Amino acid sequence: AESQVPNGSISFKNNRNNNNKPSFFSRKEKILEHRKSLPIASVERRLVEEVKKQDVLIIVGETGSGKTTQIPQFLFDSGFCRDGKAIGITQPRRVAAVTVAKRVAEECGVELGQKVGYSIRFEDVTSSSTRIKYMTDGLLLREALLDPYLSRYSVVIVDEAHERTVHTDVLLGLLKEVQNVRSKYIKDHTSVGHKRASNGTIVEKENTNPCIGVLKQCQGRKLSPLKLIIMSASLDARIFSEYFGGAKAVRVLGRQFPVDVFYTVEPQTDYLDSTIVTIFQIHSAEVSGDILVFLTGQEEIESVEKQIHENLQLLPEEKRNMKTFTIFSSLPSEQQMRVFAPAPAGFRKVILATNIAETSVTIPGIKYVIDPGVVKARSYDPVKGMESLIIVPTSKAQATQRSGRAGREGPGKCFRLYPEREYEKLEDSTKPEIKRCNLSNVILQLKALGVDDIFGFDFIEKPSRASIKKSLEELILLGALSDELKLSDPVGRQMARLPLDPVYSKALILASQFKCLDEMLIAVAMLSVESIFYEPREKLDEARTAKKCFASSEGDHLTLINVYRTSIELLEKRKSEVGKEKPEKILRKWCKENFINSRSLRHARDIHSQIRQHVEQMGLFISSCGDDTLQFRRCLAAAFFLNAALKQPDGTYRALASREVVQIHPSSVLFRTKADCIIFNEFVKTTNKYIRNITIIDGFWLTELAPHYYAKQD
Ligand code: ADP
Ligand code: MG
């Protein structure tokens, strides 16, 4: 009986607080206090009134004022979730959806996935009781495939609309139409079978609409009006207001302290080196306060983090009081919240972030910002049909947002790693993504939603005719659309269902026929994550030697599959040996020894299990080609024929579809290959034009497996 837990109060301890109040209560109180202190708290009533009055409301507010975390709670509290309806909030970035949902669940004192949840590609933490649902903009577009009128939502909030991701832009068009249909429906709820028309009007048509079945269901559920809220950190709300027929815009003021902006005197040759120098300069010369550093991606972040740790070792003990934190999109979601935890007492926190920290996520405690002035962005050449990720200068608007992060809680400093005259040359704002990306993914989705006339679709800003045309052509070549631009059944429909780029979806569908879906699932999962192989600059040789253990002479795809399978075998073996070290820990050690990025590998494992479920549901046949890798390579050729390249006399390659002259990236296992014909998955443009993730194929396969394309060619 002694060990029985007595009834009554329990005092809790947590290691975050060193005050001696029972911290369970103080945490709750603190959160309440924090919520009340946010600039948005004072306008709660007014905002709720506006939402009740307006069909579309635009809310513009400075970053950190509380828009994302508070407004959904305000709306929930004032009854917008009656009748089991939910509030959906879209974010351009997965990390924002996850961290904000976690924060709001905590503020509401509920378990994540219950009243408050999130849903991102490959990860759904919601339940039937979820009423406040954070998700990526791309995910809501996908939901529309199953629930075309988004009938479970009473309010949809498109957050971070100023980012103008391609998904946000398409979503705005879709929401505009859904809102129309829903209000029309309420006026006349006897009509069945709305045919979506590209201009937003509704054309009655019998049974040709894929949405009819669902609409009937909705009728059972009774469609209610849809409220739309567009939130943006950019002060210029005009474009959104005009698009929604003069919708009302309101402003929420934030709190901003002055930020001193510094520029370098000279241009910097290597912004990563300059970043590290600046971090240590701040650490030694400036008063306490955390540092936020903007980098372009996981690879840069991990390399800078490593160099900071090495440099710290060289400092005397008392100066090593610095701790690094990272945040980027492929960070596993249970690690993403770490960035919000304060550094241990007496330590300076250095946050290495992608531009996720620009407006999407506000981390408290920042006093210094380091801005190298670059960002990774998509770029698309509609003539050649080549999309690539390139590192480009930020816009002025981005530079301003970044420096603003230093002035949230007090005066701050921002160090821009370029001379002031360079700032003057920056574009005012970033070009919307829809104007610089391959559109086949969104076009396939629009088609699956029943939008037939893509050229006539009511985009907030129209993509160029050339890039729509190129993407339509690509979808026809992949067999997703018929020559009359109709979605093909089953291939097009299946491709639209998979949450992947159309070519990857096609590869999976083909792989089932080529009897190598087991291999293709792994390949697609591994290609969906950033950098499996870790190649630190200072240990390049060692890393490349390690890679040789996995290398396949046939190319990178089989090499990636070798890595994946070896890691799974290791895990399985360890799981069967009870009492030994934790399998995950062993795997991390193994990754380290083999220069493999364990985070990326884990991410790939998650993606693998998700896509596997999808293809199983679709009834695709999963089998392995075993040692018959020829079968797998033929399948790669059949799927990625648009990315085939032929060797030229000088050793470079010419991509057949784009006519682009490219080089094999040094990281490829085929770097020194003499193969005549290859396929590749990635085009990287730096000072050189590189291709990555390459496999050797036989040129004759192209005419055999993609005759519709290559028989016509020379
Ligand atoms: P906005 O959307 O207007 O930019 P948010 O609602 O995202 O603002 O954030 C409001 C406040 O909540 C910010 O001050 C931020 O620091 C704080 N906050 C948000 N997420 C967290 C978190 N996970 N932990 C601690 N504070 C957070
Ligand atoms: Mg926000």
Q: What is the pLDDT of residue 8?
A: 38
Task: Say if ligand 1 is within 6 A of residue 404 CB.
Answer: no
Q: Which long-range contacts (C-beta less than 8 Å, at least 24 apart) are formed by 474-478?
A: 474/385, 474/438, 474/440, 474/502, 474/642, 475/440, 475/443, 475/444, 475/447, 475/502, 477/642, 477/706, 477/708, 477/709, 478/440, 478/502, 478/503, 478/506
Task: Say if ligand 1 is within 6 A of residue 232 CB.
Answer: no
Residue with tokens 């608007």: 397
List the one residue out of 108, 100, 243, 226 whose CA is nearest residue 159.
100
H or E element in which residue 239 lies: helix 238-243
The helix-helix angle for 502-513 and 440-448 (nearest 10°) equals 70
Q: What is the ipTM of this complex?
A: 0.99
Task: Say if ligand 1 is within 6 A of residue 64 CB.
Answer: yes
User: What is the pTM for the complete model shown?
Assistant: 0.89
Contact criterion met (CB below 8 Å) for 325 and 349: yes
Q: What is the pLDDT of residue 2?
A: 35
List the one residue out of 163, 161, 156, 160 whose CA is nearest residue 178.
156
Give the integer Cα–Cα distance in Å for 361 and 294.
13
Task: Say if ligand 1 is within 6 A of residue 68 CB.
Answer: yes
The ligand whose atoms approach the alpha carbon of 38 most closely is 1
A 10 A CB-CB count for 484 gives 7
The ligand whose atoms approach the alpha carbon of 104 most closely is 1
Distances (CA, A) of 451 to 145, 168, 210, 437, 574: 12, 17, 11, 20, 51
Q: Which atom of ligand 1 is nearest to the CA of 99?
A: 23
Task: Say if ligand 1 is within 6 A of residue 69 CB.
Answer: yes
CB burial of residue 283 (10 Å; 0-12, 13-18, 19+): buried
Task: Say if ligand 1 is within 6 A of residue 263 CB.
Answer: no
List the one residue out of 311, 390, 308, 384 whose CA is nearest residue 349.
308
Q: How far is the CA of 63 from the centre of ligand 1 (A)?
A: 9
The ligand whose atoms approach the alpha carbon of 161 most closely is 2
The count of C-alpha atoms lying within 13 angstroms of the C-alpha of 138, restricted to the half-sphere facing its C-beta, is: 19
The ligand whose atoms approach the alpha carbon of 72 most closely is 1
Q: What is the pLDDT of residue 579?
A: 66
Give the integer Cα–Cα distance in Å for 179 and 228.
8
H or E element in which residue 677 lies: strand 677-685
Give the integer Cα–Cα distance in Å for 167 and 137.
6
- Dihedral angle computed from the Cα positions of residues 458, 463, 468 and 469, in that order, rounded to the nearest 10 degrees: 120
Q: What is the pLDDT of residue 267?
A: 93
Q: How open is the CA angle 75-77-78, to the nearest 5 degrees?
A: 65
Q: What is the pLDDT of residue 580?
A: 65
Task: Say if ligand 1 is within 6 A of residue 91 CB.
Answer: no
In the chain, which residues have pLDDT < 70? 1-25, 189-222, 578-580, 712-714
Q: What is the pLDDT of residue 581?
A: 72
Dihedral sign, Cα of residue 406, residue 72, residue 397, residue 247: negative
Contact criterion met (CB below 8 Å) for 398 and 430: yes
Contact criterion met (CB below 8 Å) for 211 and 194: yes
Q: How far is the CA of 368 from the centre of ligand 1 (A)?
A: 18
Structure tokens at 78: 């004032």
Q: How far is the CA of 64 from the centre of ligand 1 (A)?
A: 6
Structure tokens at 562: 């070798």
Task: Say if ligand 1 is within 6 A of residue 103 CB.
Answer: yes
Give the integer Cα–Cα distance in Å for 508 and 524.
8
Adjacent-strand bridge partners of 123: 120
Tens of pLDDT, residues 492-538: 999 999 999 999 999 999 999 999 999 999 999 999 998 899 887 77
Q: What is the pLDDT of residue 400?
A: 95
The ligand whose atoms approach the alpha carbon of 60 most closely is 1
Nearest Cα residue to atom 22 of ligand 1:
103
Q: What is the pLDDT of residue 224?
A: 86
Q: What is the pLDDT of residue 3?
A: 34
Structure tokens at 127: 């339940």
Task: Say if ligand 1 is within 6 A of residue 405 CB.
Answer: no
Chain centre to alpha carbon of residue 592: 26
Q: How far is the CA of 100 from the centre of ligand 1 (A)?
A: 7
Q: Which atom of ligand 1 is nearest to the CA of 231?
A: 2
Dihedral sign, Cα of residue 383, residue 388, residue 391, residue 392: positive
CB burial of residue 195 (10 Å; 0-12, 13-18, 19+): middle
Contact criterion met (CB below 8 Å) for 407 and 258: yes
Contact criterion met (CB below 8 Å) for 289 and 367: yes
Do the strands 86-91 and 132-136 form a parallel or antiparallel pair, or are they unpaired?
parallel
Do the strands 227-232 and 248-252 form a parallel or antiparallel pair, or are they unpaired?
unpaired
Q: What is the DSSP string of 471-484?
A: HHHHHHHTTSB-TT
Q: What is the pLDDT of residue 21?
A: 45
Give exposure, 82-109, as e/b (b: 16+ Cβ within 10 Å).
eeebbbbbbbbbbbbbbbbbbbbbbbbe
List the one residue out of 509, 501, 510, 436 whose CA is nearest residue 474.
501
Task: Say if ligand 1 is within 6 A of residue 162 CB.
Answer: no
Tens of pLDDT, residues 38-82: 999 999 999 999 999 999 999 999 899 999 999 999 999 999 999
**Which DSSP letter does residue 572 get?**
H
Distances (CA, A) of 678 to 293, 553, 557, 561, 662: 39, 12, 12, 18, 12
Give the integer Cα–Cα distance in Å for 146 and 124.
15
Calculate Rg over the CA atoms of the chain. 26
Q: How far is the CA of 160 from the centre of ligand 2 (A)?
A: 7
Give the integer Cα–Cα distance in Å for 305 and 317.
19
Task: Say if ligand 1 is within 6 A of residue 340 CB.
Answer: yes
